[in-house]
Amino acid sequence: MAEIGLRGSAVRDPEQREAQRRRILAAAAEVFARKGYEAATMEDIAAQMGVSKGVLYYQFRSKQELVVETRRATSGAAVDRLTEIVQRPGSARVRIEAALRDLAAAAFDPLAKHVILLPVLHGLDQRYLDEVRTIERRYERLLETLLREGVAEGSLVVDDVKLTAFTLIRACFGPAVWYRPDGGLDEFQIVDRLVAHLLRSITA
């Protein structure tokens, strides 16, 4: 059975449609990061892609649906990666380092940057806000689980697991705000030094 698009027409090439969907998400993420959710318009996103608004509305019903999908794509992928890290064999200390490296690298990912720069989405309907927060809480709980494992094995010293998890997340996201390509350090050096600093703050 042929796939049906939002406007009720058959999708002739699902692979092409999915590729276009990814391009829309990338363009939307860049516009949201630059202008903010409330100021950004579907016209801005279409202009970023060099297409008409109709291309966007073929895939997404509204700006709200589009911003939720960009966050689902980025935050959901981060949850999947952290789940894999948590489930690895070995010490919690080694796995928390892997988790922090993955998290810090996200600060340099163009698709993830709008999630970092727009932690609160004013203007979203409550059901959309709830969906976004559900994904984000899954990540927070996984990181808290890993921290508790480290405390239990004696490799980490954490007084307040929830506070520490939130602090680590925000610290790893910091470079998204202040990093400049013409600075003294490249992305990899920043990730190395930032992770090393954070590990020192929680290592027994």
Joined tokens for residue 81: 């990666």
Q: If one looks up domain 63-202 in CATH, what number appears?
A: 1.10.357.10
% pLDDT > 90, the chain: 50
Q: Which residue shows structure tokens 């996984």? A: 142
Q: Which residue shows structure tokens 């709008």? A: 114
Q: Collapse the DSSP code of 184 into the 3-class scheme (helix H, G, I; strand E, B; otherwise coil) and give the result.
A: coil
Residue 34, CB-side half-sphere exposure with 13 Å CA sphere: 12
Distance CA 204, CA 192 (A): 20
Q: What pLDDT, in 10s, does the model give residues 78-129?
A: 999 999 999 999 999 999 999 999 999 998 887 787 777 776 666 778 888 8
Predicted confidence band of residue 9 (pLDDT cuts 50, 70, 90) = very low
Q: Name which of 86, 87, 93 is nearest 157 in CA terms.
A: 93
Return the minimum-mean-pLDDT range out of 1-10, 155-164, 173-182.
Answer: 1-10
